[in-house]
Amino acid sequence: MHELGLCDAIVRAVLERADGRRVSGVKVRISGHPVDPGVIDMGFQLAAAGTPAEGARVELVQEPASVRCRACGAENPADAVPNLVVCPSCGGLDVETAEAMGHGAVLESITVDEPAGAGG
């Protein structure tokens, strides 16, 4: 399952950046491929079990893929099946997936607990 591999990669990136500190929150932006937030949360929790990221809250920001019309140049979200075939701007039938936005996941931020003895 694609999402489980994605979650494993996210946890690895989180742990690398946390440098041993306890992680309480993670914000991830996923573009292109629609995902179920519940599946991502469950996969993250499974991958993070037994690590400093165990139990961290996952905030997921999703950006849908987009399509570009070769006739008029309009870029529209691929959030409905007709948009994958017909340009909603001009009605043209020559549309392509717009790669400019990219597809994948970006770890935007992590929230870590202060190390013991810090503060003040």
CATH code: domain of residue 79 = 3.30.2320.50
Establish if 28 belongs to a structural domain: yes
CB 59, CB 91: distance < 8 Å: no
Establish if 118 belongs to a structural domain: no
pLDDT of residue 13: 96
Establish if 46 belongs to a structural domain: yes
* Mean pLDDT rounded to a whole number for the chain: 87
Predicted confidence (pLDDT) per residue in 81-94, tens digit: 888 889 999 999 99
Establish if 22 belongs to a structural domain: yes
Annotated binding residues for Zn(2+), as ranges?
A: 69, 72, 87, 90
The angle at the Cα of 106, spanning 16 to 10, to the nearest 5 degrees, equals: 45
Annotated binding residues, as ranges?
A: 2, 69, 72, 87, 90
Number of folded domains that form the chain = 1
Task: Decide: residue 87, CB within 10 A, 0-12 exposed, 13-18 middle, 19+ buried.
Answer: buried
Establish if 20 belongs to a structural domain: yes
Question: Residue 59's domain spans which residues?
Answer: 2-112
Establish if 117 belongs to a structural domain: no
What distance in Å separates the CA atoms of residue 51 and residue 49, rounded to the nearest whole number? 6
Q: What are phi and psi of 108, to 5 degrees?
A: -80, -40
Predicted confidence (pLDDT) per residue in 49-90, tens digit: 999 999 999 999 988 788 889 999 998 888 778 888 899 999
The angle at the Cα of 98, spanning 95 to 104, to the nearest 5 degrees, equals: 140
Annotated binding residues for Ni(2+), as ranges?
A: 2
